[in-house]
Structure formats: C-alpha cells, structure tokens
Structure 1
Amino acid sequence: MLAVFGLLTQSAVQAQGCSDAGFCTIGALKQHAQADSAKQRVTLLLPLGLGDQSVLVFTPGLQYDRIFSARWAIQAKLTANYASGDLGSVTGLGDVFLSGTYSFPAKARWRTGLTLGAKLPLSNANLKVNGNPLPMQYQSSLGTVDLIMGLSVNSSRWQLSAGWQQPLTGSNANMFLPGSDTRPEARAYPPSNQFNRKADVLGRAAYTLLNQSRLNLNIGLLGIYHLGQDTYNDQNSRSLAITGSEGLTLNATVAGWYNLSTKIRLGFTVGMPLIVREVRPDGLTRSFVFAPEVSWSF
C-alpha cells in the first residue's frame, strides 16, 4: 500500500485538482469514504498545491458535518489561504461553504442524495503586496457568492455524481492587469481586473477498491466543464473575453481513509490530469496537489 501511495503521489505532480471554486468537495459531491454511525464530525483539511508560475498554495480548512437522520445532513466549511511566488507572499481568509443534503429512501442497493449549498466569500479577491494588485493565483477567494447544486447516486462500490456551480454576484474586485504592472514577472500571468467567472458543471464516477473496517481506498474520474469564456476589464474599462478559458478539465483521482480509532480518521486525495483547459485565469490550476485530512467523530 505504501508503494502504491508513493507512486500515486508522484503522479500527481501535474494534477489540475478540483476547480475549487468549491463544489468538488461539498456534501454528496465529495469522493466518499465508507459510511459510519457518527452523527457529528469535525475535519481539518490541509490541501497543498503548486499553481501557475510555481506559486505555492496552502489552503487549510475546517469542516463540520452533522447528520440529523437517515434523510437529512448539513455541512459547513471555513477556508483560508497562503500563496507564495515570484510576485510575493500573501495570506487571507477564503470562503464559507454551507450546504444541506437530502438522502432519498433507498431502493435496492443504490442510494441517492441531493445537495444544495452556497459559497460565501470572506475576501473580495483583491489582496495586494506592497500596494501592487495580485493575479487570481494569489487570491484567497474567487470573491463571488455562488450557488451550488449536486446529485449523487451511490452503492457499496460505486459513486456517480453531477453538480453545478453558478456565480451570482458577477465581477469580483480584483485589479490585476499585467500590462499596467511594472514588475517583469507580472507579464506571465493572465489579466483578471474586474474578473467575471462563468459557471461550472461537474461529473464524477468513483469506484471503491478497498472497503474494510479500518481502510478505505477508491479511484475515480472527475470532469469539470467551464461553461463559457471568462471576462476581465482592460485599462479602458472594456470587457474582454479570455480566449481558451472555457472547456473541459478531466482528472483521475485517488482517495483513501484509515481509521486510527472509532473517533479519529486520516484521509488523503490526489489527482492526475487527463485533459486540461487551455487557460485557467481563475487561478485554480495546480501542477501539484495533495490534500490530507484528519477528522474527529463524536
């Protein structure tokens, strides 16, 4: 198992990861661990990645899950962000994610869950270093309020999910224009002044390879389709489309969990790209991604 884990982690060096706009890991859309009897769970999330232009990105999060009954569950998540690259280093609060999931009465061996949620920004996506605007690769949030919907169908081995994430508040407050920046390194980043991001749809298929009392391991395919070309405002306040920003990202994913005890569980997620979009001006591209987590049940 350790050899397989090491190989998969090495393969993630070119991973795109989730478009973490956020909906890959919310409610019923997240790649599933085995079910347990815990009614409440607190999870520490520690994703680490390497973005465009080798920007190091660390996005810790704290997540709370509460199961009220066989039908209803809620989830709340708070994130922050640290980014460091050739334009400087910056930290900031990220987003609050709130969601509720309804599980329909089970038929045969398949279970269906419907998730409705929202992403609420704690930053306007305009973090700066020494007064200089930073591109989206350094921002701790996309700076928009988003609606998230998802549907997941699961058996003991399979998970099939579909989701939609729609920005509701239009352009964010980012002010980065590489042509107006005196730093030579800035020319390598896409413009994002008054960045307006289009919606995403998600499709996931995952299969559980191991489902033991203490160890769970599954593999999957995660596809994210960006539904249109994002836009920005140039120095003359004209709205311009960013060519190549729409299209498909397809990843192979591996996720695993190990129960240290009845209360504590360790987990990880890694990914490998199969298809990528030409341009990711939202700053979500990762050439490396590894996301460990620790959860406490009570």
Structure 2
Amino acid sequence: MKKILLILVLVFITTFSFAQGCSDAGICSIGNSFRSSEKEFKNNIEISGIFGAGEADVTYFSPYISYGRKVNERFSWSSKITFSSASGSFGTRAAFGDAYLIGKYTFVAKNNTQWSVLLGSKIPFTTSNLKINGFSLPLDYQSSLGTFDLFLGTNLNYKKWDFNAALQIPVFNNNKNSYFAEYSGTNDFLTTNLFERKSDALFRATYTLNTKNQKFTFKPNILFIYHLGEDSFENIYGKRESYVGSEGLTINGNLISTYNINNQKSVELSIAAPFVVRDIRPDGLTRSFVLALKYKFLF
C-alpha cells in the first residue's frame, strides 16, 4: 500500500509541475473502450467532469456522458457525447463538442493473453467557429476541432499488463475557424483560420494494481502520441501555411485511480502530465492543469 501511495504522490507532483498538459483530440481516451465489464452486467453509463487550465488565462469545464453495451462475449460498443465551457479574457463560450461511437471485438484468451480490436468514429457538433459578440475565437475557446475522424486500434492484455495502439485519422475536415492573431490585439494565440489537423498515432502501456480488498484499483500508464505531420492554416493573404514544429512526439504519464463502491458502482480520478511535448500545438488542446472525475454505473 505504501508503494501505491508513493506513486500517487509522485504523479500528483508531476502533474502540477509541467507547463503543458496532454494534447488530446480524442485518441487518449478511446483506450477506455478496452476495459471489460463484469460478466453479469451488459450495460454501463459513465458521467465525467474534466477541469483544466489552458493557454494564457483560459479555464475549462468539460463534462461528458457515455453509454456502453456488451452485445455478447466477443462484441461490445460504446458511445460518448462531450460538452465544453471555456472562459478567459475573451469571455465565456460553451457548446457541445463531439459524438463518439466505438465498436470492440475481443478474441478468445490463450495462455493469459487476450487480443482486442476496435473501430470507431468521431462526429463534431460544431465547425469550430464559435464566436463571442461576433468576434472570432481561437481554437482554445472551441468545443470541437470540426473534423470527422476514424479510429483504428488494437489491445493486448497479458496478466496485469495492457498494451494498446491506435490511429486517429481526420477523414473529413469541416473546420471553418476564422481567427487571425493579427486582428485580435493579443499574441497569446496563433492564427487558426481554416485550421487543418493531421493524424495521430498512439501507443500505451498500462499496469493494474489492486488492493487486497479489491476496493481500490490503480492504473499507472504511459502514452506515446506521435502527430503524423504539420498542421496548417490559411493566412491573411489566402495562402495555406504550415505550423513548423507541430509534427512530432508527445509522451504522457497518467494515473487512473478507481474506488469500487460495490460491483455496480465506482468513482474514478485521473491525473496526467507530459514528459515530452511538441514544439508547437496550435489546436488549442494544451493544458497546464487537468483533473478528471468520473462516476460509472453497471447494470
């Protein structure tokens, strides 16, 4: 138990020591679809609230609700709807973000080893051009990136270890953002007019620790996220320009702590921090402080 508490303290300190948080366009959280529910239950509902602080003085409250169903021993699916409220010097803007639908197929376990594969999609509720009093806002104030994305993933479970890899591919870009830094009166945010985002690749390793009474579960994990190209925007002259330094690797440390109230209800706390970040992340997803609290109910 002392080792578990030490891990909690170290991750907590690390989270609040770094200047930038996990840049997550959705790929970080789809690994949740790999978590298996107890065999006697086929449905689960998750309600979560995420609190964070981003670039400049922007603060966030981003709740979501998720519903998942196990169709049989091999196939299950989950859905999620997100919402985001961003507040800062520009004002406050809140809106629904994205809808997710993920399907998972689990193969027969052999020799303490089990493979899963998933296929999913992300559908935006906005074109990433929300405004306040008619003024265009940078992506930091937007609730969605405005892209229709495809997810492809696989997971290997071996005893207490999970290894999963995934791709997030923007299939159709409906981003109509019209923010120009030149006309904003501040240098806090980059120009994101008609922003186009490249794909992401993820590899995650997770280790599961349980207390003797099974009331607490701790899942320290490390994520390697590679942004597969430089994002771009259309400048004031109508020409497309790339963000030099936006391609590259991000490495995040994450700790998921779960309290199991009973076999149907649980509460989860998640904290994360980066160890390596890309030079430039214009997508507005940078966080200096992130705290996520989730309630899960099985039935």
Structure 2 residue ranges without an equivalent (≥5)? none
2:48 to 30, 45, 48: 45
- TM-score normalized with structure 2 length: 0.93
Tell which deviates more after alignment, 49-58 or 241-250: 49-58
Give the unaligned 5+ runs of structure 1.
Answer: none
Q: Percent identity?
A: 36
Question: Residue in 1 aligned with 2:254?
Answer: 253
Q: Please state how far the C-alpha of 1:33 moved relative to its aligned partner.
A: 5.8
Residue 18 and residue 116 in structure 1: after superposition, are their counterparts in 2 closer, same or farther (change >3 A)?
farther
Matched residue of 2:11: which SS?
A: helix
| Aligned residue number for residue 193 of structure 2 | 193
Partner of 2:148: 145
User: Residue in 1 aligned with 2:89?
Assistant: 86
Matched residue, 2:206: 206
Alignment of 1:98-247 (within 5 A): 98-170=101-173, 172-181=175-184, 184-185=185-186, 187-210=187-210, 212=212, 213-247=214-248
Paired residue secondary structure (2:272): strand
Q: Which residue of 1 aligns with 2:291?
A: 290
- Partner Cα separation in structure 1 for residue 131 and residue 81 of structure 2: 22
Measured in 2, the distance between the counterparts of 1:16 and 1:107 equals 41
2:38 corresponds in structure 1 to 36
Q: What amino acid is aligned across from residue 250 of structure 2 in structure 1?
A: T
Report the Cα distance in structure 2 between the residues aligned to 1:262 and 1:220, rounded to whole angstroms: 24
Q: Secondary structure at the match of 2:208?
A: strand
Query: Is 1:56 aligned to 2:90, yes or no?
Result: no
Q: Quote how far apart the aligned CAs of 1:30 are.
A: 2.7
Q: Distance in 2 between matches of 1:77 and 1:33?
A: 15
CA contact (8 A) 1:16 1:289 kept: no
Distance in 1, matches of 2:203 and 2:278, equals 16
Distance 1:75 1:158, change over 3 A: same
Q: Is the 1:31–1:206 contact (alpha carbons within 8 Å) kept by the matching residues of 2?
A: no
Q: Which amino acid aligns with 1:286?
A: R
Counterparts of 2:21 and 2:183 in 1: how far apart (Å)?
31
- How much does 1:10 deviate? 3.9
In 2, distance between residues paired with 1:201 and 1:33? 20
Any residues of structure 2 matched to 1:271-282 within 5 Å, and which?
271-282=272-283
Q: Matched residues in 2 for 1:195 and 1:82: separation? A: 21
How far residue 155 of structure 1 moved from its aligned partner, in angstroms, is 2.4
- 1:101-132: CA deviations, max 9, x gaps? 00011111011110100000001100111111
Cα deviations across residues 150-178 of structure 1 (Å, max 9, x unaligned)?
11111231010100001011351100011
Instruction: Specify whether residues 174 and 89 from structure 1 end up closer, same or farther in structure 2 by C-alpha distance, changes over 3 A only.
Output: same
Residues 15, 251 of structure 1: 8 Å contact kept? no
Any idea what SS the aligned residue of 2:28 has?
A: helix
Are the counterparts in 2 of residues 84 and 138 from structure 1 also a CA contact under 8 Å? yes
Change over 3 Å in CA distance of 1:254–1:156 after alignment to 2: same
Structure 1 position 66, deviation (Å): 0.6
Give the drift of 1:55: 1.2
Report whether the alignment pairs 1:21 with 2:25. yes
Larger mean CA deviation between 38-47 and 208-217 belongs to 208-217
Query: Is contact 2:34–2:155 with CA below 8 Å preserved after alignment?
Result: no
Q: Secondary structure at the match of 1:59?
A: strand
Instruction: Give deviations 1:171-226, integer Å, cap 9, x for gaps.
Output: 51100011022xx33x2101100000000000101111326522110111111110
Question: When the two structures are superposed, what TM-score results if normalisation uses the length of structure 1?
Answer: 0.93
CA RMSD of aligned residues (A): 1.8
Do the aligned residues in 2 keep the contact of 1:16 with 1:271 (CA within 8 Å)? no
Q: What SS is found at the alignment partner of 1:173?
A: coil
